[in-house]
Structure 1
Amino acid sequence: MDISKILVNIEQGADSALLLEKALRLAEGSGAKVELFCCCYNASLRNSYLFDKAALSHAEQAYQRHIEAELEPLTTPFKELNIEVDMDVCWHRHQAEAVVQKILRFGPDIVLHPVKQHSRLGHYIFDQADWQLIRECPVPLLLVKQKVWSDGGHVAAAVDPFHECDLPAALDHMILEWARRMVHALEGDLKVMHSFSVLPHSVIFDEHLVTDFESMQHTVRTLHVEALAKLLKPYGLTTDSPAVTLKEKETPQAILEYVDEAHIDILVVGGVARGMVDRILVGSTIERILDDLKADLMVVKPPGFVSSIDHNG
């Protein structure tokens, strides 16, 4: 299945040039329809009309028309390439909820969402809306950073055939399928990476385990290679392919190193719901890499995922 609808979340007042450039490239390569969406809200305006609902409604509509007028010029590059483009503005206090509700109405295949960057430090700011979207977005979510894609898009799928992070078995295939779709749209190349860690020798105290340590390392490595080979077979790839990388280290560190070494533009990963206690204790891979990752991150949910945000909010 190809990409037929793209939703682009425009943040009011933000520089959206690179976000739109990436949306344009994806739409041009896939032939998808694009919808520019902006959730606007002004607390001062709302507080000015707390006791006059009719006047507040009129003010909200006028404010939305003002935002629509600002968005209109952004559609021009799409129209010049005969890409079907539309825009939608809504008044909502909570951006993530508004975006998910829009997704449920519009039915896009993918959502592009910008993440903010500090101008001097080079680090990214992830607010509550970002994390809520990562958790709740029911379709693949592309977190777009201020980093230009290369001419031939380098797309990598980060897979976990052992499902050590509670990933449903079907999720790896979803990750690979979406990586292939992005490669097709960008006329790029597909890469695959998997990381695993063997228990370090320094933490083994039992004398029998010490004796068998090298054997254990070999066994674990072999099992991971075999599982990865089985996963990749339907895609015409093998573990010996130059496009496939295995790293023997903790996943967050392995991913960050790999993205730098392979000059990845888009990293496709799986996103699963986690309980609050688990997130506090060990964190998730996404939380541990997102700020330092020098690539855009695409988060894919497992089949059957249902957002807790309903259609009407």
Structure 2
Amino acid sequence: MNEYKHILVVADVNNVEQSALSRAFQIVRDLPCPAPITFFLSIYDFSYDMTSMLSSDERDAMRKGVIHQREEWMKEVAAPYMKDGIELNIKVVWHHRPYEAIIAEVFAGDHDILLKATRKHDVLESVFFTPTDWHLLRKCPCPVLLVKNHDWPVNGNIVASVHVGSENSTHIELNESMVKQGLNFSKQLHAELYLVNSYPVTPANVTVELPEFDPTSYTDAVRGFHLTAMKALRQKYGIDEEHTRVSEGLPEDVIPKESKILDAGLVILGTTGRTGLSAVFIGNTAENVIDKINCDVLALKPAGYISPLDPNE
């Protein structure tokens, strides 16, 4: 897989520590030609646009003043992460919808990956994803890496949630993309990659409606099919059998369980980018998994995905 050419990092205004920026430098520091990093922030204050006592020029001057203050703050918080030979560009924009501003910058800067910090919920001991996070997961055209505020574990593991049981071209392409991204990150973060796949439990109603149905044989056949498909995928990329897991159950149960067992520092998921009412009421597998894991998450879109915010559409 090609190395990243342009990396976009969203600043975390709630913390002096910038976990996403730290991870970006960690990713590029060992590359022969480190990719430039854009440190980005979208800000907005309703009061500056509604001050009727000021002229439009005065309001514009005030906005520029606020932007300048934020730029200086970003230079300050970025300083501890700077590495020789790595280009860092700081950009602050005035926009009332952060996720729209971020995605607009993805398109404008032709960024290969977006990094953004997530927040940890102390009570539930899980990662708390903001509305902006969910919008980015659904609508951002490039891979989205949501980063926990912690150091990458020494000799950490990466889990790629593949779906080898499907013959759907979208799932096949996502599997390929997840493995390639996983191998890339394993080299850059000095980690081990594991491929994890789940297969469905035998429906209970089938055994009731069809007395002659043999659930054991059916389950063995389904597991065998998934094992064979997993073998083909791992062999294609030279991955050892010990680095694969095929387990019975739903992905939203299997992936968090295996990630905890493997002490994963990063989980790679494929997301279809569902939007609209179907996203509100149905959601998708990736989002159900994300709710249950407490580590960095890399979300990938299928090939040919078109963002609803694509300026060219």
Q: TM-score, normalised by structure 2?
A: 0.90
Query: Are the counterparts in 2 of residues 155 and 265 from structure 1 also a CA contact under 8 Å?
Result: yes
Aligned residues: 310
Post-superposition offset of 1:165: 8.9
Paired with 1:40 and 1:209, the residues of 2 have a C-alpha distance of 64
Q: Call closer, same or farther: CA 1:29–1:35 in 2, change over 3 Å.
A: same
Paired with 1:209 and 1:10, the residues of 2 have a C-alpha distance of 60
Alignment of 1:282-297 (within 5 A): 282-297=282-297
Which stretch of the first structure deviates more once superposed, 62-71 or 158-167? Answer: 158-167
Query: Are the counterparts in 2 of residues 170 and 303 from structure 1 also a CA contact under 8 Å?
Result: yes
Post-superposition offset of 1:141: 0.3
Paired with 1:165 and 1:287, the residues of 2 have a C-alpha distance of 20
Alignment of 1:1-313 (within 5 A): 1-30=2-31, 31-49=34-52, 52-163=55-166, 167-201=170-204, 204-210=207-213, 212-237=214-239, 241-274=241-274, 276-280=276-280, 282-311=282-311
Per-residue Cα deviation, 1:31-79 (whole angstroms, up to 9, x for no partner): 2221110111112222225873222211111110010010112332454
The one-letter amino acid of 1:222's match is: G
Query: Are the counterparts in 2 of residues 156 and 264 from structure 1 also a CA contact under 8 Å?
Result: yes
Post-superposition offset of 1:168: 3.8
Q: Call closer, same or farther: CA 1:272–1:113 in 2, change over 3 Å.
A: same
Q: What percentage of residue pairs aligned between the two structures are identical?
A: 23
Per-residue Cα deviation, 1:145-174 (whole angstroms, up to 9, x for no partner): 233311223212110023389944211101
Q: Which runs of 5+ in 2 are unaligned?
A: none
Query: Are the counterparts in 1 of residues 18 and 78 from structure 2 also a CA contact under 8 Å?
Result: no
Q: TM-score, normalised by structure 1?
A: 0.90
Paired with 2:148 and 2:23, the residues of 1 have a C-alpha distance of 10
Paired with 1:278 and 1:174, the residues of 2 have a C-alpha distance of 25
Q: Call closer, same or farther: CA 1:229–1:121 in 2, change over 3 Å.
A: closer
Paired with 1:96 and 1:26, the residues of 2 have a C-alpha distance of 23
The one-letter amino acid of 2:10's match is: N
Paired with 2:220 and 2:292, the residues of 1 have a C-alpha distance of 32
The one-letter amino acid of 1:17's match is: Q
Q: Secondary structure at the match of 1:242?
A: helix
Q: Call closer, same or farther: CA 1:225–1:312 in 2, change over 3 Å.
A: closer
Paired with 1:209 and 1:42, the residues of 2 have a C-alpha distance of 67
Q: Secondary structure at the match of 1:48?
A: coil
Query: Are the counterparts in 2 of residues 114 and 143 from structure 1 also a CA contact under 8 Å?
Result: yes
The one-letter amino acid of 2:221's match is: T
Which stretch of the first structure deviates more once superposed, 213-222 or 287-296? Answer: 287-296
Paired with 1:236 and 1:80, the residues of 2 have a C-alpha distance of 33
Paired with 1:9 and 1:312, the residues of 2 have a C-alpha distance of 23
Post-superposition offset of 1:184: 1.6
Q: Call closer, same or farther: CA 1:50–1:254 in 2, change over 3 Å.
A: farther
State the superposition RMSD in angstroms: 2.4
Post-superposition offset of 1:113: 1.0
